[in-house]
Amino acid sequence: MLQPGKLSKALKSGAIWGFIVLELLFFSIAGEFMSLSDKAFMDFENMLLLLKQSAPIGIIAMGMTIVMINGNIDLSVGAIFAIAAIILLDSMSWPIFAGLGDWVIPVAWLLALAGGTLLGALNGLIVWKTGVDAFIVTLGSMLGFRGIVFMFNGENPTSQLNWTLVDFAEAEFLGLATASWFLLIVTLAIWFLMTKTVHGRNAYAIGDNREAAVNAGIRVGPHMMINFSIIGFLAALSAVVFYSESGSVNPNDGQLYELWVITAVVLGGTKITGGAGSVIGTFGGVIAIQLLRKGLGHIGADTSTVNLVMGLILIAVLFLDRQLNIKGKEELKI
C-alpha cells in the first residue's frame, strides 16, 4: 500500500529516470521525421558515445553533489578544470622532466590532480576559516582562477600532443571508453563515500542542520574542507581525462561548466539548501542533460536552442519539485 507522501517520494526519486525515458522516446520518434542523418537515435554506439561525452561534466557533478549536500556550492570548478588542463599539458614539456620519456605522463597527471586538489582545499579553507558564504568565496575564486589561466598564456591555447597519451585516452576496455570508465568509477566511489562512510553521513548532517551537527561535536570546518578538496580533485580529474585526448586547451575552456554541473545535480534531486540528495540521482541528471544536448542536435537544433530548452526544463523541474513537496492546500502562504 502506498501511504500519502510515499507516492510523491517515489515520484521524486524515480523522476529523473522517467525523464530520461521520456527524452529517449521523444528523440527517437522526432528523429524519425526531423533528423538529417538516417541513423536511429537510440543506437547502441550512439549511447556509448553519450556516456563518454558525459564524463567531463559528470565527474565534476559527483563532487558538486557532495559539496551541495554539505550545504555549500562551488562555482570555481570550471576555472579549476582549465588550470588543471594547463598544468597537465604544459608540465609535459618542462625541461626537468625531459629525461623521463613517456613516464612524464603519470607525473603530469599527478601534478594536475594535486593542483586541482590544492585549489579546492584553498576554497574550503577560506570558507571554513572566514565563515564567508561558499557562494561568494567560490565566485571570487572562479574569477581569480580564471585570471590565472589567462595570465599563463594570454589568449593563446596551450597545446601538447603526446601520442601515447592519446592512445590511452582513446583506448577501450570491455567496450567502454577510458573516459566512461573514469565516470563510472568516480560515481561508484562517491556513492560509497556518501552512503557508507561516516564522513559522508556527517556531510548530510551538516547540510541538513548545521547547528545540530555542531552540538553533536561534528567538526564542520574540516568536513567542508575535505569536500572542497574532493571537488577540486574531481575537476582536475575531469580535465586530465578530457585533455589527455584533445591535447590542447583554450583559456576559455571550462567556462559555464559550473552551471551545467549544478544543473545536473539539481535535476538529480539534490536540495540546493543541502542535507538531501543522491549520487545516483546526479548520475541520472548528467545523463539527462547530455541526452538533451545530443538529442536536440540530432533533430537539428543549434546550441542556443539547447540552452533555452535546458533553462526552461530546469525551472520546470524545480517548480514540480516544489509542488511535490507542498504537503497540501493548507500549506502556509509566504
Residues that bind other proteins (CB under 8 A): 5, 196-199, 201-202, 204-205, 208-209, 211-218, 275-276, 327-334
Q: Are 277 and 65 in contact (CB under 8 A)?
A: yes
Cβ neighbors of 14 (< 8 A, separation 6 or more) are: none
Report, in Å, the least distance between residue 62 CB and other proteins.
18
Phi-psi group of 197: left, alpha or beta (phi > 0 → left; psi -120 to 50 → alpha; rest → beta): beta
CB of 3 to other proteins, least distance (A): 10
Which is nearer to other proteins, 1 or 332 (by Cβ)?
Answer: 332
Q: How far is the CB of 37 from other proteins (least distance, A)?
A: 45
Q: List Cβ neighbours of 106 (8 Å cut-off, separation of 6 or more).
A: none
Q: How far is the CB of 117 from other proteins (least distance, A)?
A: 18
Q: In the complex, what is the shortest distance from the CB of residue 212 to other proteins, in angstroms, rounded to a whole number?
A: 4
Asked whether 40 and 28 are in contact (CB, 8 A), the reply is yes
Q: Minimum CB separation from other proteins for residue 233, in Å?
A: 17
Burial of 323 per CB tally in 10 Å (0-12, 13-18, 19+): exposed
Q: Which is nearer to other proteins, 39 or 196 (CB)?
A: 196
Give the C-alpha separation, 68 to 74, whole Å. Answer: 8
Contacts of 86 (CB under 8 A, 6+ apart): 149, 152, 153, 158, 249
Closer by beta carbon to other proteins, 159 or else 209: 209
Amino acid in position 60: I
Q: At what angle do helices 178-196 and 163-170 cross, to 10 degrees?
A: 60
Is 27 or 204 the residue whose CB approaches other proteins more closely?
Answer: 204
- Measured from the CB atom, is 94 or 192 closer to other proteins? 192
Report the sign of the C-alpha dihedral through residues 170, 175, 181, 187, in that order.
positive
Specify the residue, 95 or 217, whose C-beta has the smaller distance to other proteins: 217
Of 249, 203, 205, 199, the C-alpha closest to 81 is 249
Shortest approach of other proteins to residue 221 CB, angstroms? 12
The residue (of 197 and 248) whose beta carbon lies closer to other proteins is: 197
